[in-house]
Amino acid sequence: MAASSYVFDFSQGSRDMKDLLGGKGANLAEMTNLGLPVPPGFTITTEACRAYLANGKEPADLRVQVTRALRHLEDKVDRRLGDRHDPLLVSVRSGGKFSMPGMMDTVLNIGLNDASVIGLAEASGSDRFAWDSYRRLIQMFGKTVLGIEGDQFSAALDEAKAAKGVTSDVDLDVDDLVALVARFKEIVREESGQDFPQHPREQLDLAIRAVFDSWNTDRARVYRRRERIPHDLGTAVNVCTMVFGNLGETSGTGVAFTRDPSTGEPGAYGDYLVNAQGEDVVAGIRNTLSLDDLKALDPAAHTELMGVMRRLETHYRDLCDIEFTIERGKLWMLQTRVGKRTAAAAFRIATQLVDERLITEDEALERVTGAQLAQLMFPQFDSHSPRRMLTRAMAASPGAAVGKVVFDSETAVAWAARGEDVILVRRETNPDDLEGMIAAAGILTSRGGKTSHAAVVARGMGKTCVCGAEELDVDVAAKLVRVDSTTIREGDTVSIDGSTGEVFLGDVPVRPSPVVTYLEHGLDQAVAGADEETAALIRAVDRLLAHADETRRLRVRANADTPDDAVRARKLGAEGIGLTRTEHMFLGDRRVLIERVILADTAEERDAALGALLPMQRQDFYEILEAMDGLPVTIRLLDPPLHEFLPDYTELSVRVAVAEVQGKPDAQDLALLAAVERLHETNPMLGLRGVRLGLVVPGLFALQVRAIAEAAMARIKDGGDPKVEIMVPLVGSVMELHLIADETDGIVHEISRREGIPLQIPVGTMIELPRAALTAHRIADVAEFFSFGTNDLTQTTWGFSRDDVEAEFFAAYLDKGVFTVSPFESLDVDGVGRLVQIAVEEGRATRPDLKLGVCGEHGGDPESVHFFHKVGLDYVSCSPFRVPVARLEAGRAALEASASETR
C-alpha cells in the first residue's frame, strides 16, 4: 500500500484543497500559482494532524517527508535552516479548513539560535533586527511550544522598557535586546527545566507538534462549538520562509481588506505597522497606521499592494482579507482568505459585487444569511436621548451594547451566568479571552484596530466591539479604567456603539433598527432622512429579500395570537398565520370562566360559563381574521396543561388551612380544593391537555369551534375573505382526531345551513408526539393538514422537560460535545427530523394533497429552514420578528437544493 502524501509544496496545491491543506495552505498555494510574491514553503496536511491526534505521535514517514520538503525549500532559496551564515528562518503556522482567527498557534523565526543570530545580523546588516527576532522566537516558542505563561515574557519586556525609560519595544537598542534574550532564556530554563533548544530541526519538529496540539486547546474547542465547526477536522501546518517587517523604517507588516469589513464601504482598508512583525498588528500591541499612511511612506509598495488586492478580489470574486509584509521595500503576500465581515457589510458587499458584474443575484443571496439579517434587526442607540460620551475610537463591529464593566474573562463568564449584561474591557484581547468575549454583550479595548484580535473575533461572532480607544487608561490589576478625570470601576455601566466607535457612561436608551423600520414601513420611508451608509444598507437588504421571495418555494407564515401580532407579521412579509394559540385568550378576567367550565358539577353550570365565553372568543377570532384577510389563519384549539387553568394548589391549600385554624372554613374553598386535588397531575405536560382536554371536558372544544365558525361567517357577511383552519393539538391516535373532526364538521355545517352561506373550514392536527409521526399514514385519513409542533416533538422524542433540562445540564452537554447546539434552537435532524420525514412521506402516501407546515420556533431557525425545504414542507411559521429571516433562508434553501440537484 502506498504511503500517504503528508507534505505539499505551495506550488502543488490550490484553493480547492482546503479539506487537505486547510484554508491558509490552500490559499497560499493559489497565490503561488497566480504568480504573486509568496515566500516559498510547504504545507503539512490535516490528514497528518488527524493521525497524530489519534495515535499520540506523528505518522512514521512524516519526518522523512518534512526533510525532503525542507531540503527542496533550502535549495530554492539557496540558504540552510539555522545556518551560521545568512540562515534560512521559517514560520510555522496553523491553518484549519475553516478560519479560526487567533485560536491556534504560530511560531515565527524558527532556526535562530546563539550562532545563527550572529549570521542573521551579518547578512541583514542590523544587529538590532537579529536580536529582536531572536527574542521574539524565544517568547513565542516558550509560550506556544513549552507552555510557559506568556505574562512571564511580557513582564520581562516591560521591565526592560521601564529600565530604559521608554514605552515602546522599538525604542530598545541592541544591548537591551541581547540582555532581554538572556533573560528570556533564563525564564525558559526556570519554567520548563530545560534550555532553549539550539538545534534548528528540533525547533521545527517541536513547533509542528505544538501546532497539531493547538487544535485541541480549550479556546479552540470553545470557538469550534460556537461556530459549529466539527472537532474531527484537524489543522494543517504551514512552514513558510520568513520575510521580515522588522528590518527598519523601510520594512513593515500589515493586514488589509479589499473593502471595509465593518461597513462594506468600497475601497481598500487596512492597518500597517512600520518595523514590526505580523503578530504585532493582530495583537493590537501598537496602534497602527492606515494604508494611506503606507502610500506616503512607500508609494511603490503601496501601488503593488493595491494591484495585488484588486487581482485577488477579482479572482475570488469576494472581499479578501490579506496579510502582507514589506521587507526593505519588497512586498510579500503571507496569506489571503475570503474575509469575515459584519452583517451590514455582507449585504452591501453582496449587492456591490452584483452591480460590478462579478457575481450573480443567486450568488449574492447565497453570501448572506438569516442570522446576519437578524443581527441587523437589533435595536440601536437613540441619538436624541441625553448621554455622556467618554471617547470615540475604532468602530470595529456594529451594534449597541450596554453592560457592567468587567476586566477579565473569568468575571465576564461568571457575571453573565447570573444574568448580568457585561462589557469586557481590556487593553487588547488575546485568544485566552475567548470565553469572556462570548459571554460579554460587547468588547472595548484601548489598543488595536479593525484587524486586531478583538475586532476580527467580534465580527465573526456578531458581537459589538470598539477598539483602539487610546484615551482609556485600563488598569486590569486595580479593576478600573480612567478617561481624563473620570474613573470607571468594575460593575459601573457603560454603553458602546460598534457602528460609530462611541463609548458612553451609563445606560443609553435604544431605538428600533432602521432595517426594521424598512421592513414595517417600506423602502421609501426608511431611506428618507437616512445617512448614505444606512440608506445603502437598507437598499441592499431590500434587493436580496426581494430576490429570496422570487426564488423560494416555502411559504412563510407567522405565529400570532393577537390582532396586533397579526398586523405586524403581515408588515414583515408573513403570508398567513401558521399558529394562533388560544390559551392566552382565557387569562385575566376570563380565567374564572374557564375554571367554571373545568370544575363545573353540572351541565347547567358548564353551559352558563361556556355561553359567557362564546362572544368573547368570537370577537377575538374576528379581529385576527380581519387583520389577515385573504391569507390562511391556522387556529389551534386549547392546548396547555390543565393546571394552568386551575387555582394554584399550594396557595389554595394554605388558604384553606389558615381558615380552618381560625375556625372559619370556607365551603367554596373546600369544594374547590377537593376538585383541584382530584385533577392534580404529577406531570402536567404529559397529562390532561390538548385533544384529551377537549374529549374529557364536554363543550370546551365545541365552544371554540363555534366561535371560529361564527367569526368567519361574520367576516364573509362584512365582505371579508377569511381563510381559517382549525388545528387539533397533541393528537396521538387517529380516533382522537376523528371524534373532534366529526364534532367540528357538525358545528360548521349547522352554522352554514343557518346562515345560508357556504363555509368550509379545514381540520388538521399538530404532529408533536412520536406516535403521531409514526402513525401519520392513519392520521392523514382524517387530517387535511399537518403542522409539526417541533418544540413538543423535541421534548417527547428526547424525553426532555425543556424548562428543567436547559438550566440543569444543557451547558454540560454542550461542553462535552453531546450537542453542538441546543435541539430547541436548531432542529435535531437525525432524531426529530427523522420523525418529521417519516410523517411527511407516509402522510402524503395516504393523502397526496396533504398540506404540511411547521409552527415551532424552529420555523425561524436558519439551518432548520433548509431541512424543512429538503423534506418537502409547504410552509414554515415562526414569530413575527423572525419572518424576514425565514423568508431569506427559504430563498437560500431553494438555491442550495437546486445546486445539489445539478451536482
> Which residues does the annotation mark as catalytic?
453, 855
* Residues counted in the chain: 903
Cell 431553494 found at: 894
Contacts 24+ apart (CB under 8 A), 83-86: 83/116, 83/119, 84/115, 84/116, 84/118, 84/119, 85/119, 85/122, 85/123, 86/119, 86/120, 86/122, 86/123
Residue type, 167: T
Residues 6 or more apart in contact with residue 175 via CB below 8 angstroms: none
Is beta strand 723-728 parallel, antiparallel or unpaired with respect to 763-767?
parallel
Q: How many other CB atoms are found less than 10 A from the CB of residue 895?
A: 17
What are the backbone angles phi and psi of residue 676, rounded to the nearest 5°? -65, -40
- Residue 801 DSSP SS3: coil
C-alpha cell at 614: 362564546
196 secondary structure, DSSP code: P
Task: Report the sign of the C-alpha dihedral through residues 712, 717, 718, 719, in that order.
Answer: positive
Count of helices and strands (H, E) across the chain: 37, 31
Which DSSP symbol is given to 239? E
User: What's the grid cell of residue 769?
Assistant: 408526539
Which residues in 250-276 are b (16+ Cβ under 10 Å) and which e? ebbbbbbbbbbbbbbbeebbbbbbbbb
Distance in angstroms (rounded) separating the CA atoms of residues 331 and 318:
22
Q: Residue type for 859, please?
A: G
Strand partners, 464: 442
Do 578 and 886 touch, CB atoms closer than 8 A?
no
The grid coordinates listed for 371 are: 442570522
To which residue does cell 403570508 refer? 575
- Please name which of 834, 836, 825 lies closest in space to residue 802, comparing C-alpha atoms: 825
Nearest to 703 by CA among 584, 608, 626: 608
